[in-house]
């Protein structure tokens, strides 16, 4: 009974965070001034049309992937409405691929130099790779590989949430944004991948 309650609470928190951060990009649209991470970028970079397309593409499609992806882990949705599950899955794949491509590009311009740049580029590549493998697997009707790769894919996607949890905490701890940002470029996704690995192992999914 207690474990069932804990699972429900964890599910509600998971969905709440995914939806909340999934809607976060709206702040960039409704705020006239340089908001969030834009405040740390140079005027030259902010004037680049290509960078702006990549930035808004990343936060928009990344947010949509975050909003749609969490529902894919609901057994009730899969059993009650398989077509909805499939359509949401296709939507997630499209938004994740666009968001991931934009994210890899943005990684090369990460604030703080090579350390955060490599961290975010690795995250983008992992997101793209696992999403593509999940899609190819389901096309081949390999459900085990599909489920495993989707767990990894959404763990990478969920880095948008964990980044916004860790960054203010690290900034307070170190008293400096730049130090915190260099750490969070890795901390936002590496523990997520470890959690995904444990989850995949416990479910007995084959991902080789």
Q: What's the pLDDT band for 1 if we cut at 50, 70, 90?
A: low
Do residues 102 and 127 make contact, with C-beta atoms less than 8 angstroms apart? Answer: no
| pLDDT at position 194 | 97
pLDDT confidence band for 34 (50 / 70 / 90): low
The pLDDT value recorded for residue 3 is: 67
- The answer to whether the pTM exceeds 0.85 is yes
> Could you tell me if 118 and 189 are in contact, meaning their C-beta atoms sit under 8 angstroms apart?
no
For 159, residues 6+ apart whose C-beta sits below 8 A from its C-beta are 123, 188, 189, 192
What does the alpha-carbon distance between residue 116 and residue 169 come to, in Å, rounded to a whole number?
17
Q: Which of 75, 61, 72 is nearest to 22 (CA)?
A: 61
Residues 55-84 have a mean pLDDT of 88
Count other Cβ atoms within 10 Å, centred on residue 88: 18
Tens-place pLDDT, residues 85-135:
889 999 999 999 999 999 999 999 998 899 999 999 999 999 999 999 999
pLDDT of residue 2: 64
For 132, the 3-state DSSP assignment is: helix
pLDDT in tens, 125-137: 999 999 999 999 9
- pLDDT reported for residue 10: 79
pLDDT confidence bin for 77, thresholds 50/70/90? confident
């Amino acid at each position: 009974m207690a474990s069932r309650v804990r699972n429900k609470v964890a599910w509600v928190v998971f969905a709440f965070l995914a939806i909340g951060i999934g809607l976060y990009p709206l702040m960039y649209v409704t705020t006239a001034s340089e908001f969030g991470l834009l405040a740390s970028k140079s005027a030259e970079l902010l004037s680049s049309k290509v960078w702006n397309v990549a930035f808004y593409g990343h936060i928009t499609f990344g947010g949509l992937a975050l909003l749609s992806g969490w529902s894919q882990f609901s057994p009730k949705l899969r059993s009650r409405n398989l077509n909805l599950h499939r359509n949401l899955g296709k939507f997630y794949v499209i938004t994740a691929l666009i968001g991931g491509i934009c994210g890899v590009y943005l990684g090369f311009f990460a604030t703080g130099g090579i350390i955060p740049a490599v961290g975010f580029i690795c995250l983008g590549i992992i997101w793209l790779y696992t999403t593509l493998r999940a899609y190819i697997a389901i096309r081949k009707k390999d459900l085990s590989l599909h489920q495993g790769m989707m767990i990894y894919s959404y763990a990478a996607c969920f880095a948008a949430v964990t980044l916004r949890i860790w960054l203010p905490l690290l900034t307070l701890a170190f008293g400096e944004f730049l130090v915190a940002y260099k750490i969070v470029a890795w901390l936002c996704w590496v523990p997520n991948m470890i959690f995904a690995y444990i989850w995949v192992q416990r479910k007995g999914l084959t991902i080789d």
